[in-house]
Amino acid sequence: MIEIENLSFQYTKHKVLFDQLNLQLTKGGIVGLFGKNGAGKTSLIKIISGLIFPQHGQVTVQGHNPARRLPSFLRNVYFLPDEVGGFADKISQYVSLYSPFYPQFNNERFLAMLSDFGINQTDHLKHLSYGQRKQFYICFGLATNSDLIIMDEPTNGLDIPSKSIFRKLVASCMTVETSIIISTHQVRDLGNLIDRVVILEGGQIVFNHSLDRIAQTYDFVQAGTDFVSDQILYHEEGVGQVKAIIKSSGQGHSKVDFEMLFNGVVQNPQKFKISEHE
């Protein structure tokens, strides 16, 4: 679904963001794109969406070159930016104006999701709080039923109950034809929603594996401060305990701690290289 080969991109000649970056993602599922602030997550998904263009390399999304911005590509891709504006229109007017660009838009589903957030279609966007506007755009994006939905920091501005509703709505909208990329540095907000973890660090994709593969390869454990293991890959010390990532014991899958996985990979990507033959 997405193939990126030898991608190079820089905003100025003195600031190289990506140098020979490669990424392959198959169709379907929810991808969590993790990275520190400034790692280039937003730039990467804008390149995938066709909003900015790389200097070198090849980018193919659903068989299209996003930079050409053909209608056949744009009608099946929805991009939700981190910062959302407040139009003067009523929600119903906005939907009437923009939903025709998405042939698979489902207005009934849109209204149901809007209701889950407690928003009325007669509300004016400019009168909504930032968090409510974010909720509206999440609902609109999911209702487009696009083959590819890309969200940049979608949980920014959402309170705790709204984050729970967000996870429920995303899960309810998934089909075998749907691919969702969620770019965030707030890894806790995704819970067990995602199917694949992609980590961007130092201008490269340093980790790209399915949740099943991660759970098969690593155990996420807690023990006392005297916990010692030659299998340890990463650990974090707390009050009276140590949390650690170790190589799988083969005794069953443990719950993946996304935040600890991210911290471990960013600290030492080489320790988290998974062989294709493991």
pLDDT band of residue 33 (cuts 50, 70, 90) is very high
Edge-to-edge order in the sheet of strand 2-12:
15-25, 2-12, 56-61
Predicted pLDDT at 226: 55
For strands 2-12 and 15-25, give the pairing.
antiparallel
Note the CATH architecture for domain 2-83+145-202. Answer: 3-Layer(aba) Sandwich (3.40)
Dist CA 146 CA 79 (whole Å): 10
Q: Is the pLDDT of residue 225 over 70?
A: no
Q: Does the predicted model carry a pTM greater than 0.75? A: yes
Q: Where are the domains of the chain?
A: 2-83+145-202, 211-272
In this prediction, residues 113-141 reach a mean pLDDT of: 93
pLDDT digits (tens, 9 = 90+) for 237-260: 877 778 899 988 777 677 899 999
226 versus 45: which is more confidently predicted? 45
Label residue 83 by pLDDT band (50, 70, 90).
Answer: confident
Q: In sequence order, what are the residues at sequence separation of 6 or more whose Cβ sits closer than 8 angstroms to the Cβ of residue 60?
A: 2, 3, 4
pLDDT at 277: 46
For the segment 86-104, the average pLDDT, to the nearest whole number, is: 90
What's the pLDDT tens digit per position in 176-206? Answer: 889 999 998 888 888 778 999 999 998 999 9
> What letters, b where the CB count within 10 A reaches 16 and e where it falls short, cover 88-105?
eebbeebbeeebeebeeb
Q: Report residue 60's pLDDT band, with 50, 70 and 90 as the boundaries.
A: very high
Residue 260 has a pLDDT of 92
